[in-house]
A and B are shown apart, each in its own frame.
Chain A
Amino acid sequence: MTELRKRGGGGDTDLVSETISDKETDVEDRLGLPGEPGVEADGDSESKADTPEVPPSTADNTPQFLNKAVEGLNPRWKNWWIRGVLSLAMISGFFMMIYLGPVMLILVVMSIQIKCFQEIIDIGYRVYHSYELPWFRTLSWYFLICVNYFFYGETLAEYFGALVQREEPLQFLVRYHRFISFALYLAGFCMFVLSLVKKHYRLQFYMFAWTHVTLLIVVTQSHLVIQNLFEGMIWFLVPVSIVICNDIMAYLFGFFFGRTPLIKLSPKKTWEGFIGGFFGTLVFGFILAYLLAQFQYFVCPVEYNSETNRFTAECEPSDIFVMHEYTLPFAVQNIIQWKTVNLYPYQIHSVALSTFGSLIGPFGGFFASGFKRAFKIKDFADTIPGHGGIMDRFDCQYLMATFTHVYIASFIRGPNPSKVLQQLLVLQPEQQLSIFNTLRERLRDRGMLPPAATEAI
């Protein structure tokens, strides 16, 4: 979302001035630090033989009809309109997918992950002119498949427990899952070592590392997004909406009130936008949480019903999605004359999520900005007209997904019962028996089981 702020302001003139400032940094890079011998550090020498600058938005893949519709307008507003229309299109797409349900969302997350991975790897290729490296495309995609296999296998085993127990080959795959994943990864590792070519060692190691860091960032976090989704669609929708809202709010506040620059890295961002975005997002998150917490469709953990072979989200909503009365502190009582207020506890959690999304989310955007400046690219790709690549849209989301996951694990959810049962069934019989007895004692103490006298074991 970083490009939104940089370019929504002045149209083409800003674009030109930005490319000029980029060229300036280029020159400075070549001069290097004063007095440093061997300034042709590898990183900088590459900037000379580098890819041609990605030509600014003249490579226009806006669809024809949009072009015709806006051709009458001033070029400044034309860009604004294209971005606006595409934003609206993306948000509508988002709503449609929510309507279509969890399976669709999972598929979309996976597609996005693959596209982001492809975009980043493409950049690496261009930066290193790596197209001639033997095997490397194949190997990158192979590693992507391996890591995905590993992660999705772990998830499937947990959530599809009933289905897995039924099918024999699936049971085998689950039991030796780690071993199989490791063997697959090792095969890729060996292929890499065997593919090392004398002249290209360094390039190949760079691309190997590039692939792995990309996998670390993109794949692990998309996996966390899916896990959040299984917890309940609300845990997927609210964080994603918060980040989008923060972007839009910060942009609007910056547009109307922006004065003080925020960080050298992104010159168009302002403190007013930042703070305004923070408060705007808080309110938005609060209201959105209120709206969504009422529907079972959103708050129930997604479960796989093995009889009907589909996903369902039906349950007794847990405590945090049940209205509670909270007494307002005195200060607030005097102001608004209400003694108590009815809230979902989840709305309080949403305040934490909004705070993170507004304060730390932008750092993900700064990181991506720095990355693009480092490699002299304007956008990750040209997939979305007016916005850039998929990665441009999702750079702030990743930290949010990890935070949500950690938040859920720490404050909300206990261990997953079906996973615990699975582990139990794998133990040695003596261990199972001892656990059985311990559990029985515990349940009797809590009154969940009739006392010992009536059972003859």
Chain B
Amino acid sequence: MTELRHRGTTDNDLQHQQSDDKGSENEGKAEKDGASDSETKPDTGLPEVPVTADDTPEVLNKALSGLSSRWKNWWVRGILTLAMIIFFFIIIYLGPMVLMMIVLCVQIKCFQEIIHIGYSVYHSYHLPWFRTLSWYFLLCVNYFFYGETVTDYFSNLVQREEPLRILSKYHRLISFTLYLTGFCMFVLSLVKKHYRLQFYMFGWTHVTLLIVVTQSHLIIHNLFEGMIWFIVPISCVICNDIMAYMFGFFFGRTPLIKLSPKKTWEGFIGGFFSTVVFGILLSYVMSGYSFFVCPVEFNSDHNSFEVDCEPSDLFQLQDYALPAALQSLTGWPTVRLYPFQIHSIALSAFASIMGPFGGFFASGFKRAFKIKDFANTIPGHGGIMDRFDCQYLMATFVNVYIASFIRGPNPAKVIQQLLALRLDQQLHIFNSLKTHLTERGLLEEAA
């Protein structure tokens, strides 16, 4: 979302920025800083990604042809933003299955964009096997992660089908073997002249996998917890972006960080407060529907996903007594809230404060490799990765938050593990559990 702020201004500013970049390059050349700057010299060999590579669709161009070029850019971005938000609503409506597919597609596209950058930075198109190997590693890691998820959530289905049962029992071994094959292929593909390049690309692929794939997997975990755990965090990040932009546009004065010169403290703080408010309102609206708050389950009879349950305590309205200060202010003794709304404050706070760091990281990355955008997939916005750079930290945070504060272990999984133990171990656990439950008063003392 960083480009939103960089470019929602006049073309003059755009040119200023480009000359800023060139200025930094000149500075780099002037200094006798030794090897660190020897890298900036070869970079002039890299073609600058031309800003004007315009793949806005014809229809938009015609509709906007009358307007001045300043507003044209603004309108293109605005329309695309609206289109993306509507698309978001549609896929929510279509349900969890479609959401999972979309997450998978976004992940693949992000991976492709980053690998593509690596290729163009290192002129690595001639490396033997490497495209194949990168995609192969992507498949392996996805297989590993989705296998673990599927076993957890689809346990009924898996137990029934024999081949699935074997795949799930030896899942780790199979994944490891697949990965090893890729590793051996890499070693065998090392070519004398290109060792360093090949190791760079290997490292690049793995770091990309680490970032993109593990976090999209965490998004799916959050989704299974309940669609609200997917929708609210994403919406908070999007809202923070838009709000910070608006506040920055109207009130922006003090720059925030050297890395992204267009960001301002006013935008940052304004975005923070409005995102918190937005989060509270959104959670209020969503907590009322079981479609959003229930864990996604796979119904093996109908072979489809369903969200049907008794909403947990978190999504039941409760009365909270306001602290005395607020009471005198608003005249209400208590307020009815969903507990989830209080959690949403934590989520919004994280999105507003830490989310931008993901954006700064991506900005730094783009400046380091002298690229304007990750790709040109979305007209006016750049690549998919540009849109999702702040989301990734958010997904990890939500997952850790749920694991720490909300959810306990999954009972079905615990039973499964329990029944897999040896009988004497089961007996031992049975006795411990009996003592524990008796102490808690849930069991009567045995006669």
Residues of A whose CB lies within 8 Å of any CB of B are 25, 28-29, 32-33, 36-49, 128-129, 132, 175-176, 178-179, 182, 186, 189-190, 192-194, 196, 198-205, 209-210, 212-213, 216, 263-265, 360, 363, 366-367, 370-371, 373-375, 399, 402-403, 406-407, 409-411, 414-415, 417, 420-421, 423-429, 431-436, 438-440, 442-443, 446, 448-449, 455-457
Closest chain A residue to B403 by CB distance? A178
Q: Are A178 and B199 in contact (CB under 8 A)?
A: no
Is B429's beta carbon under 8 Å from chain A?
yes
Closest chain B residue to A36 by CB distance? B123
- Distance in Å from the Cβ of B391 to the closest Cβ of chain A? 15
Sample 13 A-B pairs with CB under 8 A, ordered by A number: A38-B46, A194-B257, A199-B33, A265-B187, A373-B195, A409-B172, A421-B429, A423-B414, A427-B409, A429-B437, A442-B426, A443-B423, A456-B447
Closest chain A residue to B123 by CB distance? A41
Is B430's beta carbon under 8 Å from chain A?
yes
**Known pairs A265-B190, A367-B187, A427-B414; A47 contacts B196 (CB<8 A):** yes
- Distance in Å from the Cβ of B213 to the closest Cβ of chain A? 13
Is B59's beta carbon under 8 Å from chain A?
no
Q: Are B36 and A43 in contact (CB under 8 A)?
A: no
4 tightest Cβ-Cβ pairs between the two chains A and B: A201-B368, A374-B195, A38-B45, A415-B417
**Known pairs A213-B203, A360-B184; A43 contacts B196 (CB<8 A):** yes
Q: Are A264 and B192 in contact (CB under 8 A)?
A: yes
Q: Are A424 and B414 in contact (CB under 8 A)?
A: yes
- Distance in Å from the Cβ of A438 to the closest Cβ of chain B? 6
| Cα(A351)–Cα(B200), bound, Å | 36
Closest chain A residue to B175 by CB distance? A406
Is B253's beta carbon under 8 Å from chain A?
no
DSSP majority for the B interface?
A: helix
Q: Are B192 and A417 in contact (CB under 8 A)?
A: no
Q: Are B427 and A410 in contact (CB under 8 A)?
A: no
Q: How many pairs of residues, A versus B, come closer than 8 Å at their CB atoms?
A: 247
Binds A, one of B61-69, B74-82, B354-362: B354-362
**Known pairs A25-B193, A193-B259, A203-B36; A432 contacts B126 (CB<8 A):** no
**Known pairs A213-B203, A265-B187, A410-B172; A198 contacts B258 (CB<8 A):** yes
Instruction: Using A204-B364, A432-B433 as known contacts, list a sample of 10 further A-B pairs with CB atoms less than 8 Å apart, ordered by residue number in A.
Output: A42-B121, A128-B35, A199-B40, A200-B36, A367-B187, A370-B199, A410-B173, A435-B433, A440-B430, A449-B427
| Cα(A373)–Cα(B196), bound, Å | 8
- Distance in Å from the Cβ of B332 to the closest Cβ of chain A? 32
Contact with A along B414-427 (1 / 0, CB 8 A): 11011111110111
Contact with A along B171-208 (1 / 0, CB 8 A): 01100100010011011101011011111100110110
Contact with A along B147-188 (1 / 0, CB 8 A): 000000000000000000000011011001000100110111
Q: Are A132 and B36 in contact (CB under 8 A)?
A: yes
Is B42's beta carbon under 8 Å from chain A?
yes
Closest chain B residue to A436 by CB distance? B433
Q: Are A41 and B42 in contact (CB under 8 A)?
A: yes
Closest chain A residue to B443 by CB distance? A457
